[in-house]
Amino acid sequence: MSRRADQSERLERALDGGPIPHDEETRQMLAAAGTLRPDTRRSPARVRAAKEAMLREYERAQNPQEAREDAGTGDGLDEPEIHREEVELPGGGHLVLTDIEAITPERVERTADRIARILQSSEQKDRLS
């Protein structure tokens, strides 16, 4: 039997759980094979956390919450009222303000002035270019 075949056979026996050979080459090959094997150790903390999560989910599925008779009333999830104001801008523009909060006349005026200034400044830039 050739030397290479002998080494291969010793390596296979060692990988199958047989006696570990004492020669340095085979030990190095075993170490290399061990680094290629995927790590199968599991963290005990992660196993425990997964088990606890499964038990919590099982408990929740077995004991669903009872539906409240007053569900949907006063829980803040009702449809909010949408406020809307339309304003004509100088120069023929049209502005629509929409908000879930009340829109005051002062807010409408401030916003319209701000938009009018932005439009005027962009018109002036267009004339310069």
Range of the domain at 98: 83-128
Q: Using one digit for the tens of pLDDT, what is the confidence trace for 102-126?
A: 999 999 999 988 988 888 887 777 6
Q: Is position 102 within any domain? A: yes
Domain assignment present for 76: no
Closest to 97 (Cα-Cα) out of 81, 107, 86: 86
Q: Output the pLDDT for position 37.
A: 67
Instruction: Give a yes or no: residue 51 inside a domain.
Output: no
Instruction: Report yes or no on 73 lying in a domain.
Output: no
Task: Assess if residue 109 is contained within a domain.
Answer: yes
DSSP-derived letter for residue 99 is: E
Is 16 inside a domain boundary? yes
Q: 14-31, pLDDT tens digit by residue?
A: 667 666 666 777 777 777
Residue 117 lies in a domain: yes
Of 13-17, 24-28, 58-62, 87-91, the range with the highest mean pLDDT is 58-62
C-alpha–C-alpha distance, residues 113 and 55, integer Å = 61
Q: Check if the beta carbon of residue 83 is closer than 8 Å to that of residue 100.
A: yes
Q: How many domains does the chain have?
A: 2
Does residue 94 fall inside a structural domain? yes
CA-nearest of 81, 85, 83 to 109 is 85
